[in-house]
Amino acid sequence: MFHKVTLAICGVFVCSAVFAAKPEWTSWRGPERNGISPEKGLLKEWKDAPKLLWRIDNIGGGYASITIHDDRIFTMGQINGETCLICLDLKDGRLLWKTELGAQDAPNCTPTVDGDRVYGLSKNGVLMCADTKTGREIWKLKYESDFGGKMMSGWGYSESPLVDGNKLIVTPGGKDAMLAALDKRTGKTIWKTAVPEKLAGGAAYSSVVISHAAGVKQYVQLVGRGIVSADAETGKLLWNYEPIANGTANIPTPIVKGDYVFCSTGYGTGAALLKVVKQGSGLEAEEVYFLKSKQMQNHHGGMVLIGDYIYCGHGHNEGFPLCIEMLTGKVAWSPGRGVGKGSAAVLAVDGNLIFRYESGDVALIEATPTEYILKGQFKSPTHHGANWPHPVVVDGKLYLRDQTSLLCFDIKG
């Protein structure tokens, strides 16, 4: 009887180990593309700098963040003058493989992982699908030659492709293909979004998000001439909103909730809340309010929505901590400079916000609209350039990309 009971108990532990979920962060700003990590049980404050578990220094230049799937880390970097899709071991950051895209730049795209495939994009618009285990190229397209693609300005393509079902949604930025849906397995075109001449200003630096506003599934994207929305089934342009665009670089990923879309850009532009409504047989985006640049402008650090409040860095290349009520635009708190300098990339996790400043300073701020509460800060051990890549938290670990380096910190409670 003792042996039978022991075996039964062991069987429970074996099954638990087999079916335990592996750490996942498969897309830009997380699985929901909203900059919110589902992690719990983390340090509630940082009395000292979190423990550095490992650091690697061989992943090349660029501002890509990371994704995680099946005990592997994926990113992009410029190694020996070539744009590479890169795979690292999750345990220690050891390089497992790198695949050249046939381009020569320091990439900004954060790869998107989907099962056994990973998708990466170079600054000059080379889109590659590769095998996650080996790095073998499966298919490759070029935005310019295959779609008449165009960027709004000269810093190159930066989006992270969106996987939705069997489709890969991308933004070539062409007049006849502002957005495009591809078969994620083969790269073949399913549909393209044509836009009128007034919207044909090329792609911007944002990434596509999914909305179900007004009961219609649609893909919302910030492009060179403003916000556009494409029907998820056909790619037809549903609505657009131009006032949020500036002529230099439109960057932050929009926030979507219910029938609302919130957007902001830097370079002296501002922010706007839109409500998508039915208009005849189509849709229309109504402006609820517009905030001028002195009130709110997010450069490129991103925004997160928690409950009814938006948290972000405010000011062009400033990153001043800011909390506003989404439906009214009213400021909940705005303490000024904060602990770092330059733009701040923001992540929400376990009741707190992580502000990662361009200067290499990292702050832990309570995610409450009541008041600004700083709960800790530390300086990154490396500072190879502007610390723009967005932070990632998975399995109790904080990952910070700094050009050629990737750092992994223990922030478990």
Residue 295 falls within a domain, yes or no?
Answer: yes
pLDDT at 20: 56
The pLDDT, as a whole number, for residue 18 is: 46
CATH code of 223's domain: 2.40.10
Number of structural domains (the chain) is: 1
Pairing of strands 112-114, 95-100: unpaired
pLDDT of residue 5: 42
Whether 315 is covered by a domain: the verdict is: no
Q: Tokens 């493989």 identify what position?
A: 97
Burial of 149 from C-beta contacts in 10 A (0-12 / 13-18 / 19+)? buried
C-alpha pair distances (Å), 79 with each of 58, 85, 105, 106, 404? 8, 10, 9, 8, 9
List CB contacts of 57: < 8 A, sequence separation 6 or more: 404, 405
Specify if 16 maps to a domain: no
In this structure, is residue 62 part of a structural domain?
A: no
Question: Residue 211: inside a domain, yes or no?
Answer: yes
Q: Given the structure tokens 């300005």, which residue do they identify?
A: 153
d(CA 95, CA 88): 5
6 has pLDDT over 70:
no
Whether the predicted pLDDT of 31 surpasses 60: yes
In what order do the strands lie in the sheet containing 397-402? 51-56, 405-410, 397-402, 392-394
- Residue 153 forms part of a structural domain: no
Host domain of residue 287: 206-299
Tell whether 249 is covered by a domain: yes
List, for residues 228-282, the tens digit of each pLDDT value.
Answer: 999 999 999 999 999 999 999 999 999 999 999 999 999 999 999 999 999 999 9
pTM for this prediction:
0.94
Tens of pLDDT, residues 350-382: 999 999 999 999 999 999 999 999 999 999 999
Both tokens of 12, joined, read: 């429970």
